[in-house]
Amino acid sequence: MRGVRARNESAWLIPDDGSRTNHRLRRDMRRFDDSDEIDMVIVGCGAGGSVLAQRLARAGWRVAALDAGPFWDPDTDWVSDEAGSHHLYWTEPRVIAGSDPVPMGSNNSGRGVGGSMVHYAGYTPRFHPSDFATYSADGVGADWPLDYADLRPYYAAIEQELPVAGERWPWGDPHGYPYRPHPVGGNGEVFLRGARKLGITAKVGPVAIVNGRFGNRPHCVYRGFCLQGCKVNAKASPLITHIPDALAHGAEVRADAMVTRVVIDERTGRALGVHYVRDGRERFQRARMVAVAGYSIETPRLLLNSACDRFPDGLCNDFDQVGRYLMVQGAPQTAGRFDAEVRMYKAPPPEVSSEEFYETDPARDYKRGFAIQTVSPLPITWAEHVAAQGHWGGSLREYMSDYVHWSCLGALCEFLPLPENRVTLAQEKDSLGLPVARFSYSQCDNDRALIKAARTVMEDILHAAGADEVITIERYAHLVGGARMAAGERHGVVDRNCRSFAVPNLYITDGSVLPTQGSANPALTIMAVAARAADHLTGTT
Amino acid sequence: MTGRATGRFPGFDVLGQAPHWDTVTADLVTARTGLPPAPRFFTDAEQACAGALLDQLTGQREEPLGVPVLEMIDARLAASETDGWRYEDLPEDSQAWRDTLGHLDKDAHVRCGTSFAAAPGPDQAALIQAVQDSSEWHGLPAARVWSLWTRYACTALYSHPHAWSEIGFPGPAYPRGYKNAGVGKLEPFEVRDARPAEDPVREKA
């Protein structure tokens, strides 16, 4: 992995003394004045914003990346505990609506440096080549203004930087991973056994969890709390994969800084910088360019809250595209009961996946498909499964006491991008007096057909593995879209390089630019898209 | 039903593992077993109603676990520690709790002529079941109300080490991690289920 260190030294900038944070690097971090016209101010330090900051800093740009949340120290800020991890999520108010409202918070929304990748499971599959032209091929979804080949080198680069562990991947564009697959626990074992019986290919990985040592990041200890922030530094998040290198190359990370508004010069139509609130004070950071990377809810909300004379309906919203085509994946989870003890909490929840059902199958009455993965909920989340079956009181307790006997699989169904699934502003205000996001979601027939099909496959796999009973809970996972890239301004907000159509020095470099989502967990693709945008900005492509 | 949940993992006590947890986590988790702070959010009447409701929902009326679910939820609501969203057709969480507890008391007065907390256990259970079984309840979508109650109740109950001991879950696992993952495998500190064939789903089928 020598090549990786030469282009991203993050893993070697972490201390090797058993602590998780390089405090000196943070203390000595370059700090810009609000009045400095820096080269780029980035809004959000998640998957997209952090990669952009690291790439631009390496190219010598003067960059500050602002995040509404804290600059985490895994040793002191994170716990090996579900309820105690509440502060990792975006818990400012949001209103959910539509015929199928999507819960937010722990389900899909991060806060603080590292973003949602602090509490994502760790799955990092690539999109398939077919994902980039679903409209041409199947008449559903949308075609991207770029294709898989444009992203392939960025996928490979990021997979080395995280780094990703897994078996050789046979689906989509077949490829290998830099680290060998992890050993599996009880839940992975059940999935592999059931799939084998049915002739369904399932593979171990792909997870951005160190298998072996990587720089000064240690091996995973299999404690099962990946979704609560990795105290080990084994699971990748930008906090440890990109931010340290960004700081070492002169970027500033300004935590606890909530950006409230992007300011446009009404005369030139160019972005001038961002208003933000820090320590209760309103401030303004000047910048030559602005990149918004607040993810699919906060990015559209910020654009809408940045309305001005030139953009009365919200920044970049001349064609009513901001906030639209927001997607979640249908993520039903099916659990199976075994007389043997599975104890699914004793391994990272992300272990094994199958993309056998990812592509459109002409024999089916629906388009596109789904992926199946192990999920391994901890007790509070497991209680949600049990309560969803209608149990309460003594019955809830009795079912819960059976926890060690259950195995649990989750599906990611490719819900289609629909214009009415969108973010708008609610009447309600947050603690800063800004209108909060209202997120409306309603499924279409194809979405419902996918959930049904995925549920059947999961039930079949668990039965084949020997489960005597199965239960299913319907839920959602991930967010993408809301400010999508498109071939032209009437169909999206940014171009193929993440530059907004409306404001020439305004970029959006997060999951909200994705026009479709496949059945893949989005983190790797968000990072790859941001890395590609950075190359465009620095003139490398 | 009484006693069905308890005793499946004889002698297993999660708190015995606390010396193996990192101190940040250990402090947080063991604090949950201490004396809970007095409620600040709920009024006296709301406390009585919520206490009875939560004892029912968490099965602690029949089988007390010593988990102060009422106080834990009160502390969350007092700190406005929501899940980060609310349904458009339900008020924000703290108001929704106040409103729905008021509605429960009203229902109890109609059915028993008493407050919900003073109603006999079976009546309380029937009033709760009616919420779960209806589509609309006092002008609110009943499923959303049910979701609010059970989300808060389950999060509190299953954050508590006593509940973990009951279900055989060893709790925090850092820095130790696990060495014996796999079907049927145990760590030295885990206890095997004493009644492995007692499958609640199958028994009800």
Q: Is the peptide bond before A163 cis (omega within 30 degrees of 0)?
A: yes
* Residue B54 phi, psi dihedral angles, 5° rounding: -75, -35
ipTM exceeding the 0.95 mark: yes
Is there a cis peptide before residue B64, judged by omega within 30 degrees of 0? no
The number of C-beta contacts closer than 8 angstroms across A and B is: 240
Q: Which residues of chain A fall short of a pLDDT of 50?
A: none
From the CA of B192, how many Å to the nearest CA of chain A? 8
pLDDT score for B197: 82
Residues 217-236 of A with CB under 8 A from B: 220-225, 231-232
How many CB atoms within 10 Å of residue B188?
Answer: 6
Supply the pLDDT for residue B21: 97
To probe the interface with B, which of A20, A78, A79, A376 has the most B CB atoms within 10 Å? A79
Pick the residue from chain A with its C-alpha nearest to B55: A393
Look at residue A105 in the predicted model and tell me its pLDDT: 87
CA distance A241 to A235: 10
The neighbour count for residue A139, using CB atoms within 10 Å, is 8
Residue A18 sits at the chain B interface (C-beta within 8 Å): no
Residues of chain B contacting residue A469, judged by C-beta atoms under 8 Å apart? 199, 201-202, 205
Mean pLDDT by 10 residues, chain B (205 residues): 73 96 97 94 98 98 96 96 94 97 98 98 98 98 97 98 97 94 96 87 59
CB contact under 8 A, A109 and B176: no
pLDDT of amino acid B201: 65
CA distance to partner chain A, nearest, from residue B58 (Å) = 5
Half-sphere exposure in the Cβ direction for A532 (13 Å, CA): 25
Reduce the DSSP state of residue A479 to 3 states and report it.
strand
Q: State the total domains in chain A.
A: 1
The per-residue pLDDT for A533 is 98
Q: Which two tokens stand for residue A46?
A: 């998640």
The domain that holds A271 is classified in CATH as 3.50.50.60
Identify the pLDDT of residue B5: 72
Chain B residues lying within 8 Å of A341, measured CB to CB: 183-184, 186, 192-193, 196
Is there a contact between A125 and B116 (Cβ–Cβ < 8 Å)?
no
Q: Is A13 helix (H, G, I), strand (E, B) or coil?
A: helix
Show the beta-strand stretches assigned E in A181-323. Answer: 203-204, 252-254, 258-264, 271-278, 281-292
Residue of B nearest to A97 (CA): B88
How far is the alpha carbon of B54 from chain A, nearest alpha carbon, in Å?
Answer: 9
Q: Which residues of A touch B87 (CB under 8 A)?
A: 95-97, 101
B65–chain A nearest CA distance, Å: 10
Asked if B145 and B96 touch (Cβ cutoff 8 Å), the reply is: yes
Chain A CB contacts of B193 below 8 Å: 341, 404-405
A interface test, pick of B20, B85, B203 with most A CB neighbours within 10 Å: B85
The verdict on a CB contact (< 8 Å) between A80 and B173 is yes
- What is the span of the domain harbouring residue A161? 2-537
Closest CA to A411 of A451, A463, A441: A451
Give contacts of B181 with chain A, Cβ < 8 Å: 183-186, 222, 343, 346-347
Which of A80, A83, A395 is nearest residue B22 as measured by Cβ atoms? A80
